[in-house]
Amino acid sequence: MKKLITAFAIIISISVMFSACKKSSGDPLDPSPAYKGSFNVNINGISYSTLKSDVYEMDEGVTFYADDKKGGQFQIAIPNIPAVGETATLDLEAPENATMVLVALGPIDGYSTLVAGSGTVKRESADKYTLANITLFGGNGFTDEFPMSGTVTVGAYGNR
């Protein structure tokens, strides 16, 4: 439980940073600013690839906002990222400083937070991550399961 509280605190602090540091597109007529980084993930059979923020890496991990295809956004956060070339195995019972994948504020209706309880995160290079065979858990007692897989490429960096 302490691990989840720490992870949620990281998400909240990262969210505050993004809301406090909104970037302007420079052209008020451009409805789709060019965000740095990219991603392509499949969550519960639906593919997502449109960013709503830069894919940002800092000491705490990688995070970004994604278009939920319903007029809103959701956040993906990967705290405690592995070193280049390493693969982290995800587990709900992992130690506090282990790699995690968190999906917050959607995209599945009725679930505000999803936590990866199995699968892997491989850091392919300094910028690229592969998410494989992930099972996200949500709901009361984290018993509901949803599959996730894909890739994430970092485009912006903070303190690291």
Number of compact structural domains in the chain: 1
Q: What is the pLDDT of residues 87-146, one digit of tens each?
A: 999 998 888 889 999 999 989 999 999 999 999 999 999 999 999 999 999 988 888 999
Judge whether 60 and 12 are in contact, CB under 8 Å. Answer: no
Assess if residue 54 is contained within a domain.
yes
pLDDT at 3: 53
Assess if residue 32 is contained within a domain.
no
pLDDT at 83: 94
Domain that residue 104 falls in:
2-21+39-153
pTM of the complete model: 0.82
Query: Two tokens at 46?
Result: 């639906």
User: Which of 78, 79, 84 is closest to 126 using CA atoms?
Assistant: 84
pLDDT at 94: 82
Model confidence at 1, pLDDT cuts 50, 70, 90, reads very low
Query: Two tokens at 75?
Result: 């956040």
Other residues' Cβ atoms within 10 Å of the Cβ of residue 55: 23
Checking if the pLDDT of 2 tops 80, the result is no
